[in-house]
Amino acid sequence: MSEPRGWLEWDGARARDWIAVPRVDDDKYRRGVLGVRTGSDEYPGAAVLGVEAALRTGVGMVRYLGPRRPSDLVLQRRPEAVTAAGQVQAWLLGSGQDAAMRDRVTEAALLGALAEGLPTVCDAGALDLVGRATGPVVITPHYRELARLLTRLLAPQGESVAGSEVAAAPGEWAVRAATGLGVTVLLKGSVTWIAAPDGTRLTVSKAPSWLATAGSGDVLGGILGALLATHSRAIQTDAAAPARLAATAALVHARAAARASDGGPITALDIAGAVPATVAELLASR
């Protein structure tokens, strides 16, 4: 694919500068803690996938603070996860949740996280709450989710947007959403489009089509959450940082998928499993 005009294709040389390598004087808290409010009784697996991916991307700690069933499954898979509330440096919200079925406790918890002013990934069932965020946000919709969000945004003008329209011009719609909502947009699909309100426009292509498998977006959310948590200070001073971290997450996700696939089918957990070697390879290319 030729590079779309005005969009920069993100590459490994750029991405490696956005991987935080622990320093000799770091401890788990200095590295950064990711708070995670994802999963539901209907979709507990999404919580497991996001936590797994965040831990494998490299983060000081993950605090998983979701409902009982996903919480039990997260701990079963990852005893490293902490289920006690406490300080975090970034949030991952909404994967494996459905806004239409959200109970009041979950809604209050999501709104509480959004009010903290911290770097936040809003996925799936948290996308409709993005306007309530007080800090820098990256939203991670696929085409249908972005169409739903844009339809809500454009309702006052009587406009509605279909998923097929987003699919026909993904970059343009990503830019429109970034401008209209004032957040960084990571639009998922065969090409990942990243648009920020400051005009940053990045793409990540060449991902294997085997990535089109259930849960792979939940893994991407975990990768991105870990990158935000380990760069919370840089995000405070650099308006373009969330977009660059989003592109780095998409690149790590695509390369981990290629590594796990080796030309064959993959599962979402396979992608997460290939993240450490992918990160090591990126760092070794310094």
Ligand X SMILES: Nc1ncnc2c1ncn2[C@@H]1O[C@H](COP(=O)(O)OP(=O)(O)O)[C@@H](O)[C@H]1O
Please tell me the distance from the alpha carbon of residue 183 to that of residue 273, in angstroms, as a whole number.
30
Q: Any binding-site annotation on 189?
A: yes
254 binds ligand NPW (CB under 6 A): no
> What, of ligand X, ligand NPW, none, does residue 128 touch, CB below 5 to 8 Å by kind?
none
Q: Which residues bind ligand X (CB under 6 A)?
A: 142, 188-190, 192, 207, 209, 211-212, 214-218, 220, 253
Q: In angstroms, what is the minimal distance from the CB of 48 to ligand NPW?
A: 8
Q: Residue 126 is which amino acid?
A: A
Minimum CB separation from ligand NPW for residue 45, in Å? 3
Q: Which lies closer to ligand NPW via its Cβ, residue 69 or residue 132? A: 69
Residue 114 bridge partners (DSSP): none
Of 23, 2, 1, 11, nearest to 202 (Cα)? 11
Least distance from C-beta 235 to ligand NPW, angstroms?
24
Output 60 or 66, the one with its CB closest to ligand X: 66
- Does 190 carry a binding-site annotation? yes
d(CA 2, CA 7): 11
97 binds, among ligand NPW, ligand X, none (CB under 5 to 8 A by kind): ligand NPW
Write out the residues near ligand NPW by the rule CB under 6 A. 43, 45-46, 95-98, 124-125, 142, 144-145, 214-215, 217-218
